[in-house]
Amino acid sequence: MAPDPTPPAEDGAALDAIEQIAADWMIRRDRGLTPAQADELERWRRADARHNAVFAALEETWKLMGEARGSPELAVGSECRRPRARTWFTLPAAWVPAGLAAAVALALGGAMAWRAIAPTGHEGRAPFTTTATTEVGAQRALDLPDGSVVHLNTDSRVEIAYTSDQRQVRLLRGEALFEVAKDRSRPFVVSTGSVQVRAVGTAFNVRLRSQAVEVVVTEGSVRVENPATPAAAPVRSSAAPSANLLTAGQKLTVDLTSPATAPSIPVTVTPAAVKRALAWQQQRLEFDSAALPEMVAEFNRYSRHQLVIADPRLEQKRFGGSFPASDHRTFVRLLETHFGVVAESRNGQTQLRLAP
């Protein structure tokens, strides 16, 4: 039976549906199509420019994966000894280009445009409070009265309180991107765990993990403070006088489990790493030579259906690629088709094992 017709593509869920159908067709074609099925595939591709764009991008991925499978230097779990190849759904040490994600975004005409951060004066100083949450797999943008915007990722919650002299946000769980309108007389402070991030006019991403807080700055600068750190271990030290000041393109990870340890130091990250950190805004997950447990944990953030690694031999396998955040099925199919993984789904879980 051929894949079901595509529903109208107007949002992220519809994009996932197109990608799912394209992946189904790709797998079917890899196994061999009858002339009638080949004609049906062509009709589906011609029916909508978006269908053809997504399929063509996935076709390139599929071709590169086939090339990788033929190279012993790029076998799953092996050490790559030659320069990094730029491929999709790749094997260890492979970089992920923006091709597929960009093609999909442009095909849907839905590439996200950030709102301009406009300066504000003393207007809008009336007290303001609100709470916002997202369910598992959902995202939302929250427009604030000063012109700032909070983008909430999956399974997240914030509490916001504006006063005449401060803008306060508590990130209680999850992840959020903050686009902060400039107001030098009224700082914008994000608190999460024991960490505070202070900004005036900037854009930065904050993720609250179980044992750490991660801050990535994409525009302007922020100051990260950890009030729980004892005076004997100040956030700033003579060896790193600006250790808690982050500028665009820097990342800081604060360990919440050992506040008495030496403070974390900001690190400069590549544009590609920033892009991967913010890929969730396009409802995608991007990885570069990531361990399979890390990838599984990310997919599990976006779905109540959980992936489970049931074979210790898979723990050290590493992959890269770009995937729809809410569609673990395509990822699992690729593991099954090309990497000897056996998947068994039941009771809201998909267990992953290597084939005997």
- Domain ranges in the chain are 12-111+283-354, 128-273
Residue 97 · residue 137 · CB < 8 Å: no
Q: Give residues with Cβ within 8 angstroms of 123, minimum separation 6.
A: none
pLDDT above 90 as % of the chain: 48
* Alpha-carbon distance values, 338 to 30, 45, 66, 257, 341 (Å): 11, 25, 9, 39, 8
Looking at 91-166, which runs of residues are DSSP E strands? 128-133, 140-143, 149-152, 157-162
Per CATH, is 12-111+283-354 categorized as 3.55.50.30?
yes
Q: pTM higher than 0.75, yes or no?
A: no
- 128-273 maps to which CATH number? 2.60.120.1440
Task: Give the pLDDT confidence score for residue 60 in this predicted structure.
Answer: 64
Q: Model confidence over 177-196: pLDDT tens digits?
A: 999 999 988 999 999 988 99
Segment among 83-92, 251-260, 309-318 with least mean pLDDT: 83-92
Which run of H or E residues covers position 332?
helix 328-338
The residue-averaged pLDDT of 243-270 equals: 81
pLDDT at 115 over 90: no
Segment among 193-202, 266-275, 293-302 with least mean pLDDT: 193-202
The first and second tokens of residue 38, run together, are 């080949």
Closest by Cα among 123, 72, 141 to 281: 141
CB atoms within 10 A of CB 267: 12
pLDDT at 92 over 60: no
Q: Model confidence over 47-64: pLDDT tens digits?
A: 888 888 888 777 766 655
The residue-averaged pLDDT of 258-270 equals: 75
Looking at the chain, which runs of residues are DSSP E strands? 128-133, 140-143, 149-152, 157-162, 167-179, 188-192, 195-199, 203-208, 212-219, 221-225, 245-247, 250-255, 267-268, 284-291, 306-309, 318-324, 341-346, 349-354
- Assign 257 to helix, strand or coil: coil
Task: Give the pLDDT confidence score for residue 255 in this predicted structure.
Answer: 87
More confident residue, 184 or 116: 184
Segment among 87-91, 105-109, 238-242, 284-288 with least mean pLDDT: 87-91
Segment among 7-11, 134-138, 168-172, 263-267 with least mean pLDDT: 7-11
pLDDT at 144 over 50: yes
> Quick one: pLDDT band at residue 68, thresholds 50, 70, 90?
very low
Task: Give the pLDDT confidence score for residue 227 in this predicted structure.
Answer: 59
Residue 165 · residue 177 · CB < 8 Å: no
> Quick one: pLDDT band at residue 133, thresholds 50, 70, 90?
very high
pLDDT at 221 over 50: yes
